[in-house]
């Protein structure tokens, strides 16, 4: 027999190796789990919001009274010619229909507060997303609160920042949008918002800061007023003129970006020197005692409601005669004061080393000592026997020499007492 050839070991069947899972299997599985968790979180959040809305909605205040908007209006006392003698009430306001508010004013407000006001339904989700992205990227933001949301907050809610209050604010916003037209909401906002110096609404603010009716404001003035709702104290053009101007320039930029004004109008507005009414109202008739007598008579008849019903009282006082008498008395007192020894500065202040700190210290000092008619307040920076250099709140520098130093001559002496030495 022929010899048998042994079988090759490699030809024998062997157990099959287990198939390995593809490399992408586990990442897909993790993503699937993450997707399920996200979906569950979204459902839970939706349920939580639904429960919150179910509890919050029945507790919302009745807003039907806003359909007939009647804000608090002060008691005003006038001369026989119709010149304002006095105004009494916590809220200085001139109720102005939306049809009488100039377009430039509403444009300035919409540009900085709510550009998409006439497009969204009260809550601007695009604006919210844009604000979040802007905060993350540290760029300028328009903010997330719409004008309707601000009306809901200012009229009905407190200023506390809580999740519950935000829910109420959003619900009230939708109710307002359902009850009122866009123009009605904008009219309430333009008359209700607080703008500093006891001024509520842009008509009162125009009189307070510029001494002119709202219908006469320029683009630059409208932009300055539109900067006040964000922070009335911080951007107050009387007490913080530099910050107010920075805010004004930002709003002019926004008005140009949003198409409310063209490049030429924006350039002119940036250069315009806005005249701010500072200190006491130089155009007002000085008859405070007459106004006070009228106030007492009206209060005796109407009580506290006299300060909120918008009553106008006309007296028999002649404004021209009264002003002539006041100016004559003022001139006499000023002439007498100039003949007296120098009484010293109103206050001594320490100025910091850095430039920004100096500006803030000057602003703070002059805020406590506003102008009084033709008596202007300033901070003295340099003094010698021949000249004095002082700076005003608006940044203007004044150099006083010659006869201008005579009233303070005793304060320039080396032997002057510490309380008057300059």
Write down the domain spans for the chain. 69-90+279-340, 91-271, 355-412
CB atoms within 10 A of CB 76: 20
Q: Which of 253-257, 411-415, 418-422 has the highest mean pLDDT?
A: 253-257
d(CA 113, CA 391): 34
Strand partners, 92: 199
Weakest mean pLDDT among 137-141, 157-161, 374-378: 137-141
Task: Please tell me the CATH code under which domain 355-412 is placed.
Answer: 2.40.50
Q: 3-class DSSP state for residue 85? A: strand
Weakest mean pLDDT among 59-68, 207-216, 295-304, 317-326: 59-68
Q: Which residue bears the tokens 């520098």?
A: 397
d(CA 292, CA 297): 9
Helices and strands of the chain, counted as H and E runs: 14, 6
Based on its alpha-carbon atoms, the radius of gyration of the chain, rounded to whole angstroms, reads 34
**pLDDT for 336-362, tens place per residue?**
888 887 888 888 888 888 777 788 888
Residue closest to 123 by CA, chosen among 58, 54, 173: 173
d(CA 369, CA 81): 32
d(CA 379, CA 392): 7
Longest Cα separation, the chain: 154
What DSSP state is assigned to residue 24? Answer: T
- Token pair for residue 264? 């030429």
Sheet of 84-88, strand order: 84-88, 75-78, 312-314
Residue 52: its pLDDT value, please? 63
Measured CA to CA in angstroms, residue 206 lies from 78, 94, 276 at distances of: 19, 10, 10
Residues in the chain: 422
CB atoms within 10 A of CB 324: 11
Residue 169: its pLDDT value, please? 82
**pLDDT for 95-105, tens place per residue?**
999 999 999 99
Three-class secondary structure assignment of 75-136: EEEECCCCCEEEEECCCECCCCCHHHCCHHHHHHHHHHHCCCCCCCCCCCHHHHHHHHHHHH
What DSSP state is assigned to residue 67? Answer: G
Residue 10: its pLDDT value, please? 47
Q: Is it the case that residue 180 has pLDDT exceeding 50? A: yes
Beta strands in 262-357 (DSSP E): 312-314
d(CA 335, CA 340): 9
**Under CATH, what is the fold of the domain 91-271?**
Penicillin binding protein transpeptidase fold (1.10.3810)
For residues 8-15, average pLDDT: 49
- Token pair for residue 162? 């809580």
Q: Is it the case that residue 107 has pLDDT exceeding 90? A: yes
Q: Which helix (H) or strand (E) holds 193?
A: none
For residues 215-236, average pLDDT: 96
Region for residue 16 given its phi and psi (left: phi exceeds 0; alpha: psi -120 to 50; beta: otherwise): beta
pTM higher than 0.85 = no
Q: 3-class DSSP state for residue 387? A: strand
Higher pLDDT, residue 284 or 416:
416
Residue 249: its pLDDT value, please? 97
């Amino acid at each position: 027999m022929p010899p048998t050839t042994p079988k090759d070991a490699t030809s024998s069947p062997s157990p099959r190796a287990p198939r390995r899972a593809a490399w992408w299997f586990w990442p897909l599985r993790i993503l699937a789990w993450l997707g399920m968790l996200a979906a569950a979180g979204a459902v839970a959040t939706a349920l939580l919001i639904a429960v919150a809305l179910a509890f919050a909605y029945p507790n919302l205040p009745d807003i039907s009274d806003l359909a007939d908007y009647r804000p608090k209006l002060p008691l005003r006392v006038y001369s026989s010619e119709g010149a304002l003698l006095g105004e009494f009430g916590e809220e200085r306001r001139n109720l102005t229909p939306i049809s009488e508010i100039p377009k430039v004013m509403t444009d300035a407000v919409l540009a900085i507060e709510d550009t998409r006001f006439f497009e969204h339904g009260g809550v601007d989700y695009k604006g919210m997303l844009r604000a979040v992205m802007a905060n993350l990227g540290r760029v300028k933001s328009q903010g997330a609160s719409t004008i309707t949301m601000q009306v809901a907050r200012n009229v009905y809610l407190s200023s506390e920042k809580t999740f519950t209050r935000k829910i109420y604010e959003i619900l009230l916003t939708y109710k307002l949008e359902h009850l009122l037209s866009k123009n009605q909401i904008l009219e309430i906002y333009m008359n209700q918002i607080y703008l500093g110096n006891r001024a509520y609404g842009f008509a009162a603010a125009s009189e307070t800061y510029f001494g002119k009716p709202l219908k006469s404001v320029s683009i630059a003035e409208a932009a300055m007023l539109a900067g006040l709702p964000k922070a009335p104290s911080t951007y107050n053009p009387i007490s913080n003129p530099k910050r107010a101007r920075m805010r004004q320039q930002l709003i002019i930029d926004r008005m140009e970006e949003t198409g409310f004004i063209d490049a030429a109008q924006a350039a002119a507005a940036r250069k315009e020197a806005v005249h701010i009414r500072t200190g006491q109202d130089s155009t007002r008739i000085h008859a405070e005692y007459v106004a006070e007598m009228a106030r007492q008579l009206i209060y005796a008849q109407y009580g506290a409601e006299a300060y909120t019903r918008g009553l106008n009282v006309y007296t028999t006082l002649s404004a021209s005669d009264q002003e002539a008498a006041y100016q004559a008395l003022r001139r006499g007192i000023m002439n007498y004061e100039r003949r007296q020894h120098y009484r010293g500065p109103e206050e001594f202040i320490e100025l910091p080393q850095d430039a920004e700190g100096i500006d803030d210290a000057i602003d703070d000092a002059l805020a406590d000592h506003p102008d009084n008619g033709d008596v202007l307040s300033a901070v003295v920076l340099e003094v010698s026997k021949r000249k004095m250099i002082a700076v005003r709140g608006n940044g203007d520098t004044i150099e006083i020499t010659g006869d201008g130093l005579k009233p303070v001559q005793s304060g320039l002496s080396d032997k002057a007492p510490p309380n008057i030495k300059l």
